[in-house]
Amino acid sequence: MEIMWIMVLRLGHRLPRDERMTTHVCLTSRAFGASGAIYSGQKDGSLEESVGRIADNWGGEFQVEHEAKPIARIEKMKREGWAVVHLTMYGMPLPEKEAGIRKRGKVLVVVGAEKVPAEVYQLADFNVAVGSQPHSEIAALAITLDRLQGGRELERGFQSNFKGAAISLEPAERGKRIVKG
């Protein structure tokens, strides 16, 4: 299975409507193997602080950044060799495209909030549906990250990627095994 380098771009963050959803886009991205998240739309300091606090406590190098010009950023990352994978219910079924996406190695996964501009559909290397029904950016993102990494991000050993954690968990059949430091 190819090693994937994944970044996530969340388009069109709206306050207060998207506060929780964009936070969960970032937390899901971090927990399931993305190196960082970029968001456009309204700048949201409390979003950046809350995700930063979790990254500080639970380890790893995950960063969230605001991008005022998302289209230009997508174009720049394409020039840098990133494969742009836009998640949309209108796209091609993920199972038909995931092998081709994995081959690219460096992937920018794009999810929307408000209506996604037509330009994004044109710029995307892959417009991919996680089922052809309307549901949620969180579910679409989680399933995509899992499929691209072959489930590696769910395995016990994956947790060692979160270096420098002040808090981590030991899997337990029952109860909670919290490891401090």
Residues in the site for ligand SAM, rule: CB under 6 A?
87-89, 111-114, 116, 129-131, 133-137, 140
**Which one, 77 or 87, has the nearer CB to ligand SAM?**
87
**Which one, 6 or 130, has the nearer CB to ligand SAM?**
130
Contact, 130 vs 94, CB < 8 A? Answer: yes
Q: CB 75 → ligand SAM: shortest distance, Å?
A: 19
**Which one, 11 or 165, has the nearer CB to ligand SAM?**
11
Q: CB 69 → ligand SAM: shortest distance, Å?
A: 19
**Which one, 55 or 140, has the nearer CB to ligand SAM?**
140
Q: CB 134 → ligand SAM: shortest distance, Å?
A: 5
Helix (H, G, I), strand (E, B) or coil at 6: strand
Helices (H), 131-178: 137-148
How many residues are there in the chain?
A: 181
**Which one, 55 or 85, has the nearer CB to ligand SAM?**
85
Q: CB 10 → ligand SAM: shortest distance, Å?
A: 9
Rounded Cα distance between 172 and 170, Å, is 6
User: Nearest-CB residue to ligand SAM?
Assistant: 112
The 3 state secondary structure assigned to 81-144 is: CCEEEEEEEEEEEHHHHHHHHHHHCEEEEEECCCCCCHHHHHHCCEEEECCCCCCCHHHHHHHH
Q: What are phi and psi of 121, to 5 degrees?
A: -65, -35
Q: CB 114 → ligand SAM: shortest distance, Å?
A: 5
Task: Give the dihedral sign, CA 147/79/60/120.
Answer: negative
